Copies of this chain bind each other. A is one copy, B any other.
Amino acid sequence: MDVGLSFSGGKDSALAALVLDSFYDVTLVCGTFGITDDADHAAEAAAALGYPFERLELDEAVAHEAVERMVADGYPRNGIQRVHDHALERLAGQGFDAIADGTRRDDRVPTVSRAKAQSLEDRYGVDYLAPLSGFGRGAVDALVAEQLEVEVGPSEQLPKGDYEAELRALIREEYGDERVHEVFPDHDQTRVVGLRDGE
């Protein structure tokens, strides 16, 4: 069975790949609006992990809708959720037996409810998997420390292939640099650079 896993190059989606690896042929899939080249960072991380990688074209109209919402809200949550929902719909249509993402039990956003999962499964004839949804923050941190080599840094200096990089760029372009910092307060990102020795 094959699974297309929504992949940003970050530690959560990388760990999700390792969990699925015993049971599925994993392809890492990075959604991109084509606004920036940040999907390249996800491609590098996928190569370092040794998984096949695909880019998935997302609808730029959704990016515009999402940033409009984020700027109006003053925080990114609802916009990110909108983009994730769209990306899962696109991914579900790619012909994989199963699709997956790296959402964790303690994540506030994005979330995929049981009803939304069931709806995706019914409409596309795929299984939707959230392999980390039964793992809390402590367990995820412990497993990442054991399994993955990561780089940590501020999101501006450590771009990865998640939606944030492209949405930041779009906000900068349409609303100016000030608004980027309003919507996305400074926070550290993690990018995967490989598997730990012994893997």
List residues of A whose CB falls within 8 A of some B CB.
Answer: 1, 18-19, 21-23, 98, 103, 105-106, 114, 117-118, 121, 127-136, 138-139, 142-143, 146-147
> Contact at A129–B134, with CB atoms within 8 Å?
yes
Contacts A127-B135, A131-B135 given; 8 further ones with Cβ under 8 A? A19-B22, A23-B147, A121-B138, A127-B139, A131-B131, A131-B134, A133-B134, A134-B134
Q: Evaluate contact between A22 and B23: CB separation under 8 angstroms.
A: no
Known: A1-B142, A21-B22, A23-B147. A127 touches B136 (CB 8 A): yes
Number of copies: 2
Known: A19-B22, A133-B133, A135-B129. A105 touches B114 (CB 8 A): yes
Complex alpha-carbon distance, A103 and B105, angstroms: 14
Contacts of A131 in B (CB 8 A): 19, 131, 134-135
CB distance B129 to A132 under 8 Å? no
In the complex the two chains form, is B134's CB within 8 Å of A23's CB? no
Pick from A22, A114, A118, A139 the residue with the most CB of B within 10 Å.
A139
- Residues of chain B with a CB closer than 8 A to A105's CB: 114, 117, 130, 133
Contacts of A127 in B (CB 8 A): 135-136, 138-139, 142
Given A18-B22, A22-B19, A105-B114, are A136 and B128 neighbors across the interface (CB < 8 Å)? yes
Task: Name the distance in Å between A64's Cβ and chain B's nearest Cβ.
Answer: 31
